[in-house]
Amino acid sequence: MTSPHAEQLGRARTAADFAAVIALLDTDLNDAITRRGQLADAEDRAVFGDGDLAAARAALDDCNDAIALLEKTIDVAGKRRSDAAASEARADIAALGDEIDAKAAALGARWRAVHRLIEQMRQELFEADTLSRAITTANGLFDAAGMAELKVNLTATRRAAMAGPRATAPARLSRPAVQADRLLLSFLSPGGTLDPRPALGAPVDGVKSKFMPITGERG
Query: What are 77-121's pLDDT values in tens digits?
Result: 999 999 999 999 999 999 999 999 999 999 999 999 999 999 999
CB-CB contact of 84 with 18 (8 Å) = yes
Region 168-180: what's the mean pLDDT?
Answer: 92
Q: Give the pLDDT score at 58.
A: 94
Count Cβ neighbours within 10 Å for each residue of 31-53 and write b for 16 or more, e otherwise.
ebeebbeebeebbeebeeeeeeb
Q: Residue 13: is it exposed, middle or buried by C-beta count within 10 angstroms (0-12/13-18/19+)?
A: exposed
CB-CB contact of 57 with 40 (8 Å) = no
Confidence grade of residue 3 (pLDDT, cut at 50, 70, 90): low
Q: Give the pLDDT score at 189.
A: 86
Q: Residue 12: is it exposed, middle or buried by C-beta count within 10 angstroms (0-12/13-18/19+)?
A: buried
- Residue 2 reports pLDDT greater than 70: no
- Residue 197 reports pLDDT greater than 90: no
**Cα distance between residue 107 and residue 142, in whole Å:** 51
**Cα distance between residue 182 and residue 94, in whole Å:** 37
Confidence grade of residue 145 (pLDDT, cut at 50, 70, 90): very high
Q: Containing H/E element for 185?
A: helix 175-186
Q: Give the pLDDT score at 51.
A: 85
Q: Give the pLDDT score at 198.
A: 56
**Cα distance between residue 79 and residue 21, in whole Å:** 13
**Cα distance between residue 7 and residue 21, in whole Å:** 10
Q: Give the pLDDT score at 213.
A: 38
Q: Give the pLDDT score at 190.
A: 84
Q: Give the pLDDT score at 10.
A: 86
- Residue 173 reports pLDDT greater than 80: yes
Q: Give the pLDDT score at 212.
A: 39
Confidence grade of residue 50 (pLDDT, cut at 50, 70, 90): confident
Region 165-178: what's the mean pLDDT?
Answer: 91
Confidence grade of residue 193 (pLDDT, cut at 50, 70, 90): confident
